[in-house]
Amino acid sequence: MAAGDIFSNMAQTVTNPATITIQPAASVSVMINYISTDSANTQLWGNHAGLLSYAMFQNDGNGAGTSVVLNWQNNNNMKLFLTNSDYILVLPSAGAVKFSYSGIEL
């Protein structure tokens, strides 16, 4: 990959308890600017240098900022920077979910 290349997956399905890991290769940095899912059962978790994952809380639409659940309403427009040691996991809390993301290599 090179700077300016697209970093995306537009049609991934994952079933609980499996997860999707969005992690660039070593020495690669990317910016994710779009994340979407078809289910309110989808959570976004962060991971730093292999430490235990943590829930990434999003604004829940009421300004509370306490919703860990992804949905199409409040997570499309973002600037999330990822590296090989700072990356995200997508976790369905129940059943199967479809998930997509798009970004660019920096």
pLDDT single digits (tens) 18-45: 888 889 999 999 999 888 888 777 777 7
Would 34 be classed as within a structural domain? yes
- Contact yes or no for 45/82 (Cβ under 8 A): no
pLDDT for position 30: 95
Average pLDDT of the residues in 83-102: 86
- Separation of alpha carbons 90 and 22, rounded Å: 8
| Stretch 59-74: mean pLDDT | 52
Look at phi and psi of residue 28 and say left if phi exceeds 0, alpha if psi is from -120 to 50, else beta: beta
Instruction: With respect to residue 61, please indicate whether it lies within any of the assigned structural domains.
Output: yes
Domain count, the chain: 1
Whether residue 33 lies inside any domain: the answer is: yes
87 located within any domain: yes
Residue 65 resides in a domain: yes
The verdict on residue 1 lying in a domain is no
Q: State the CATH number of the domain containing residue 75.
A: 2.60.120
42 lies in a domain? Answer: yes
Residue 77 maps to a domain: yes
Domain of residue 67 covers: 6-105
- Confidence tier at 104 by pLDDT (50, 70, 90): very high
